[in-house]
Chain A
Amino acid sequence: MNPVLAVDGLVVHFPARHGPPVRAVDGVSFTVAERETLGLVGESGCGKSTVSNAIVGLVQPTGGEVRVAGMPVRGADRRTLREIRAKAQIVFQDPATSLNPRMTVGAAIGEPLLVRGLARGRELRERVAALLTEVGLRPEHASRYPHQFSGGQRQRIVIARALALRPALLLCDEPVSALDVSVRAQILNLLVELQQSHAMACLFVSHDLAVVRHVCDRVAVMYLGHLMELAPRDALYTTPRHPYTRALLAAVPEPDPALQRAKPRVPLKGEIPSPAAPPQGCVFHTRCPMAIAHCREEVPAWRHLGETLVACHRAEETPAP
């Protein structure tokens, strides 16, 4: 069976006015199956949002291939691209800037159905009412404007609009990062419910490892444009194979003072290098506590280790967290 999303050797380079191009994404491959949620985690500048943008054709890939429901995004004609964009919907971080302030909520949610000629008039109003109810709002909210809602409610509106076309794939780019803790829990609960009720595939891009663990089935870890590790959720969190994954997990401050203070510290030295001048060999070697000469010279292969895919010469030796 075809995966809903297949990303194969994706490369996205941004030309710079001076100097070498920024290698935002440098050869990333993964698939997302029907009903599956894949988490894509990493720190700022690792390229995770660029991957998500390339999937819906918001940025042009430099190389590699992206297929949504079997259809290649690159070189797609207008009709195919229209079809791809109906199948893959995206939810961004900031709901305030994702909604047109001069459009009622009902018009915003109904617009994808209207422009594709799928519903109009009374049927459209009923579909919008059903979508609002589904995301925990009320049908009468359709006549209001975005500014009349709180941040969490606005994110519900954005989600309702994304669901209007019954997409096969939902891309969520930091969907709860702009929200306060109490509201974030409401939206996470909603996303988990929708995964089950809609049987969608989902790519969940986030910097927050605890949030990703909460909603995802498999998790991919990205650093400087490369995947470091990809594994089923429990394997990744209990037996991380890449030293970067292990350091990331150690760096998450747990909201439990006893646990947090007993945690072994695995501080990473230094800073993330520039993606315009990534290190030779393994891109992580400049900060890796396990790096040896070999890591500076040779790019590690993307290989299987049990049910985990990992790019590290010393993955077998990575200690448990």
Chain B
Amino acid sequence: MSVALQVSDLRLAIGGVNVVDGIAFSVAPGEVMALVGESGCGKSLTAQALLRLLPRQVRQTGGRILLEGEDITALPERRLRQIRGRRISMIFQEPQAALDPLSPVGAQVREASGLASVAAREAVRRMLAEVGIADPDRRIDQYPFELSGGMCQRVMIASALISRPAVLVADEPTTALDVTIQAQILDLLRRLAAERGTAIVLITHDMGVVADIAERVAVMYAGRIAEIGPTAAVFSRPRHPYTALLLAAIPRLADEPKSRLAVIEGSVPQPSEYGAGCRFVGRCPFADARCNAEPPPLLETDDGHFSACWHTERLA
């Protein structure tokens, strides 16, 4: 099987603390891989590291990022500029903030295409139509403020994909959108991944979005992967207590109304509070002395399903 993106042992530090601590995953062409977790779990920093767009205070202290087999971790900025938008692209949570307010949307998509103007206009028009923008001939000359949030996200997707990158990193692409528009954008991403063979890394906090669109999912907690595997397996047989509790804490349309939801006591630790062992230890019902002392390794529990917990068997 070919691999579009392979991340191994990624470590990112702020100050002296590894806020992303040994993340590893791979994505195949046409596959949607979700990184899911609550605020502070390191999912967005991981996404930024994939395009080497990290904030100044964040340092990469380890790991490799292979894009179609090529290690991009050590590339100079000049080479990275040739890769971003061409071979790996990114879309963001606030499409209206990510677009240039002073430039027509068609021009922004064309800029990403790198094509000369005459051929480009037709290519841009086709791309806008492909991402489901009705009346692309009119929209192409409009400015972002004339478009709704959902339509701006379609424009972002068009400019991210027009150069046919191998990988699309989507950082909370539907979080700022309403549910009916979210459903449209998720359908679009699913279709584009299948039709164009784009590998999608989807960053989200929403388990419903993961269930809808991701083939595989990595559940992150405090900078580490707690559990990773096929979406169906992770949801039906979670092998990490954090995943199990998180899934039980979500109100569902099939639950008994007003019943007590499962609770994860306390709140997510600050990086300054990370100890030597498992980072979930302070909130975990299974925690014991070993969990405090030693970080659990990510081990395979079923086919392609890995969990980082000393007590995985208690969830079987």
Contacts and interface: CB of A to CB of B under 8 A. Distances in A.
B255 interface: yes
Nearest to B265: A186
A268 B263 contact: no
A299 interface: no
Contact of B180 (A210, A251, A258): A251
Contacts of B267: 150-153, 180, 182-183
Interface size class of B (residues with CB under 8 A): 35 or more
Given A185-B249, A188-B251, A271 B257 contact: no
Interface in B1-59: 38-39
A147 interface: no
Contacts of A249: 253
B184 A185 contact: no
A185 B254 CA distance: 16
Contacts of B235: 255-257
Interface in A245-293: 247-261, 265, 267-268, 270-272
A176 to B, nearest CB: 10
Given A43-B179, A182-B249, A267-B184, A253 B211 contact: yes
A265 B191 CA distance: 14
Contacts of B112: none
A235 interface: no
B313 interface: no
A182 B38 contact: yes
A146 to B, nearest CB: 15
B252 interface: yes
A253 B208 contact: yes
A260 B211 contact: yes
A184 B208 CA distance: 15
A172 to B, nearest CB: 15
A181 interface: yes
B97 interface: no
Interface string A178-215: 00111111101100100000000000000101110111
Nearest to B253: A210
A243 B148 CA distance: 23
B257 A258 contact: no
Given A248-B179, A251-B180, A180 B253 contact: no
A237 interface: yes
Contacts of B252: 210, 254-256
A271 B148 contact: yes
A44 interface: yes
Interface in B199-254: 205-212, 231-232, 235-236, 245-247, 249-254
A254 to B, nearest CB: 6
Interface residues of A, number: 47
B151 A271 contact: yes
A237 B253 contact: yes
Contacts of A257: 211-212, 231-232, 235-236
B178 A272 contact: yes
B208 A252 contact: yes
A211 B178 contact: no
B245 to A, nearest CB: 7
Contacts of A213: 251, 253, 255, 257
Interface in B174-200: 178-184, 186-187
B258 interface: yes
B67 to A, nearest CB: 28
Interface in A80-100: none
Contact of B209 (A189, A253, A270): A253
B183 A181 contact: no
B268 interface: yes
B247 A255 contact: yes
Interface in A201-238: 207, 209-211, 213-216, 233, 237
Contacts of B251: 185, 188, 210-211, 213-214
Nearest to A153: B267
Nearest to A37: B258
Interface in B61-96: none
A182 B180 contact: no
B205 A181 contact: yes
Contacts of B254: 259
A192 B257 CA distance: 10
A153 B210 CA distance: 28
Contacts of A180: 38-39, 205, 267-268
Nearest to B235: A257
B298 interface: no
Nearest to B247: A255
B263 A186 contact: yes
12 contacts: A153-B267, A180-B39, A181-B249, A185-B261, A189-B261, A207-B178, A215-B258, A252-B253, A253-B208, A253-B211, A254-B211, A256-B252
Nearest 3 interchain pairs by C-beta: A253-B208, A185-B249, A43-B178
Given A181-B38, A258-B232, 9 more contacts: A180-B39, A183-B267, A189-B260, A210-B253, A214-B257, A247-B180, A253-B206, A254-B208, A271-B151
